[in-house]
A and B are shown apart, each in its own frame.
Chain A
Amino acid sequence: MQIGFLLEQVVNGLVLGGYYLLIALGLSLIFSVGGIVNLAHGAFYALGAYLSVEITGHLGFGPAVVLSPIAVALLGILFERFILRRFYTADPILSLLVTFGLALVAEQAIRIIWGSAPLSASIPPAFRGSVVVGDFLFSRYRLLILAVVALVLLGVWLLLHKTSFGRVVRAGIQRPDMVAALGIRLQPYMTAVVMLGVGMAALGGAFFAPITVVHPAMGAEIITVAFVVVVIGGLGSFWGVVIAATLVGVVRGITIHFVPAAGEASIYVLMFVVLMLRPRGLLGERIEKFE
């Protein structure tokens, strides 16, 4: 039975990893292409959650999880156009400061608009409860999230690897100078990458609103784990982030099974070990502009 229990934690960790992935993938993309450490990424996650609760009240859960990420992605255009764009070639410490400031402004803005008390949100009745497959217990709702993450992942992979858009973005990560020499402006691509990134964060927020506390500081809660995932996965690698996210989820689950009190610390230990062995992260590529 012991092995069964452990396996259950592993599978649960994989599901949880899917959720980390939604936040971390966008963070990684924005960093890889623009060289911006987006500390405001958590704010878009929080905004996604708040908008989705708000829309759920009017139109229901289905429209909310679609409209909220779209609205946040549109906000991402403004974010890229008026803020990020000024910092691509500047000292990176400036973009770090400006996005950090923006995260604080966003948190206070949420407090002003929605108040500091948490909003309440519930899972739609159809997805309540759990299903037992063999010996394993799954939350129906998390299976839904997993399916959505899988679809998003497939979509992003196809976009990056099977379209001309993706080719330019990937080339832009490695050699922006060559892309420029070919007469391609990277800026519109950057706008699209930011939209995609913050939209995914908002999608994570929208889907997690019913099962976590929707409060103004929720963005700050998630950003640290998302960073850990990006650092473990390595820059420029799509699969690096995917593997890192699932690894973080699984390691946390296994640790909680054996040493519950060390559960939250385990992911930082994992990051430490990975960085000792592979300073560029698991699948991180050598990217000249960052060396």
Chain B
Amino acid sequence: MIRTSRRTLLTTGAAFAGASALGFPSIVSAQTDKIKIGHVTPLTGFLGAIGSYAQLGAKLATADINQAGGIMGRPIDLISEDSVNPATAATKAQRMIEQDGAVVLLGEISSASSLTIMQVAERNRKVFFSTGARSDALRGKNCNKYSFHCDIPNTVMVNAVGTALLQKGMVKDKKFFTLTADYIFGHDLLKAAKSFFDANKANLIGDELIATDVTDFSPYLLKIRQANPDVVCCNLAGNQVTNLVKQYAEFGLPYPLVGFNLNTGDAWAAGEGNLSGTWPTVWYHTLDNPASQAFVAAFAKAYGKPPENHAWIDYVSLKLLAQAMNEIKSTDSGALIAYFEKETQFDIMKARKGYFRSWDHQLVQEAYPFTVKPKTEMKDKWDMLVLGNVVPAPGEPLDSIYPNKTQNPCEMKA
């Protein structure tokens, strides 16, 4: 018998430990009369916490659609899996189309994974609804005919928070220090932030690129103190945001902390009294309209907690995909693209309806800045945020906060 030296084993043990991030594929049963829809979203890693909400949203939408008669009388079979990382996401997306027979794909939060799935969608000529990825580049230089973008892009998040900061006089001639997630999403967000700073005469005095697996922010907090900025601005993602917010509160630095990206799941995970400042959001469960409140009630009944914004977006996206298929009586990707490119309006549980812009396939919709509610006014532990004024303001064209053709050009090959 070959015996492994224990010392060698220890050195290789660390590599083995890293492998534990691998996910398990779910077991799928094959049934031909169902309409298969492929859903991938991160369930592990730094976006896993919010991704699990996205999966619940997609599952609830499937149940609702099937109860209402499905698509053209056929039930949806949702194949939902952990996307793990960009390479695995693409492999799974390819397998869902090729072997499982998925007619369309949806999901994702990571802009890096979304980019690889977009390429799979284009190659296979299948529609992909990128539900939670926010990089401008996905709508711009990386755009393609088969990919649709449901979440607000980075530029809109910067505009939403920026407008609120301008109103508070926190931009002009102020010194900003930014912390940026070191992957496509963060780089893209920093670019959008920089053009906002330039346009509004703010000074960017420091920026740190931060790896997505960083959990200890103390060395960065020391660097912020040394730089002595007026405002600290967080361009991080997922668990990074929660870690930063917790440790920022721990050190109690005096500079106001704002951010151009936050998901409510990250805010809930931060804990009482840790979050402060002004942030953007695409949707929040206290949004006051009947459709939104009905969804919140149904979600809470099914899962015992309110939906996070990624639960909402995956729910809404799947619902409007089903609605479109029922209306055109087809699951064909070409027909769907033609339908969406007519800029058909959809109820997305907001005051104004949304539509996919024909030239870049962006779901044009309202966004909101928010601040944090004082503890004494919170009804429960989920009730953390105070929504600010909707952007764009009522009366202004809905796409005025989105990048235009010259700012973020998209050329789709036919």
User: Chain A residues in contact with chain B, CB under 8 A?
Assistant: 5, 8-9, 12-13, 15-16, 31, 35, 37, 39, 42, 91-93, 96, 100, 103-104, 107, 115-123, 128-130, 137, 139, 141-142, 210-215, 217, 220-224, 227-228, 230-231, 235, 252-253, 256-257, 260-261, 263-264, 275, 280, 289-291
A-B contact count (CB 8 A): 183
Is B408's CB within 8 Å of the partner chain A? no
- Give the CA-CA distance A120 to B378 in the complex, in Å: 16
Cβ–Cβ contact B10 & A227, under 8 A: yes
Cβ–Cβ contact A123 & B249, under 8 A: yes
| Given contact pairs A116-B52, A217-B48, A220-B21, A290 touches B14 in the complex (Cβ within 8 A) | no
Partner of B16, one of A92, A96, A139, A141: A96
Cβ–Cβ contact A120 & B270, under 8 A: yes
| Given contact pairs A231-B10, A263-B211, A128 touches B16 in the complex (Cβ within 8 A) | no
Please report whether the interface of chain A is mostly helix, strand, loop or mixed according to DSSP: helix
Q: What are the residues of chain A within 8 A of B48 when measuring CB–CB?
A: 116, 215, 217
- Give the CA-CA distance A261 to B272 in the complex, in Å: 31
Is B64's CB within 8 Å of the partner chain A? no
Q: What are the residues of chain B within 8 A of A223 when measuring CB–CB?
A: 14, 17, 20
Cβ–Cβ contact A120 & B49, under 8 A: no
- Give the CA-CA distance A291 to B265 in the complex, in Å: 49
Near A by CB (< 8 A), chain B positions 351-400 give 381
Could you mark each residue 270-299 of chain B with 1 if its beta carbon is under 8 Å from any beta carbon of chain A, else 0?
A: 111110000000000000000000000000
Cβ–Cβ contact B9 & A93, under 8 A: yes
Cβ–Cβ contact A92 & B6, under 8 A: yes
Could you list 10 A-B pairs, sorted by A, with CB under 8 Å?
A9-B222, A15-B218, A92-B6, A118-B242, A120-B381, A137-B251, A211-B243, A227-B14, A261-B182, A264-B211
Could you mark each residue 187-223 of chain B with 1 if its beta carbon is under 8 Å from any beta carbon of chain A, else 0?
A: 0000000000000000000001111011110111011
Cβ–Cβ contact B20 & A117, under 8 A: no
Cβ–Cβ contact A116 & B250, under 8 A: no
Cβ–Cβ contact B209 & A92, under 8 A: no
Partner of A213, one of B215, B252, B305: B215
Add 10 more A-B contacts to A137-B222, A227-B14 (CB < 8 A).
A12-B219, A37-B10, A37-B13, A92-B9, A139-B250, A210-B271, A213-B49, A222-B215, A256-B219, A260-B223
Could you mark each residue 303-342 of chain B with 1 if its beta carbon is under 8 Å from any beta carbon of chain A, else 0?
A: 0010010000000000000000000000000000000000
Partner of A217, one of B3, B45, B269: B45
Chain B nearest CB from A22 CB (Å) reads: 14
Nearest A residue (CB) for B2: A91
Is B18's CB within 8 Å of the partner chain A? yes
Chain B nearest CB from A48 CB (Å) reads: 16
| Given contact pairs A92-B9, A256-B220, A261-B209, A42 touches B251 in the complex (Cβ within 8 A) | no
Cβ–Cβ contact A37 & B9, under 8 A: yes
Is B28's CB within 8 Å of the partner chain A? no
Is B146's CB within 8 Å of the partner chain A? no
Q: What are the residues of chain B within 8 A of A291 when measuring CB–CB?
A: 5, 7
Near A by CB (< 8 A), chain B positions 166-182 give 182
- Give the CA-CA distance A245 to B270 in the complex, in Å: 27
- Give the CA-CA distance A256 to B216 in the complex, in Å: 12
Cβ–Cβ contact A231 & B11, under 8 A: yes
| Given contact pairs A118-B242, A120-B268, A213-B239, A128 touches B249 in the complex (Cβ within 8 A) | yes
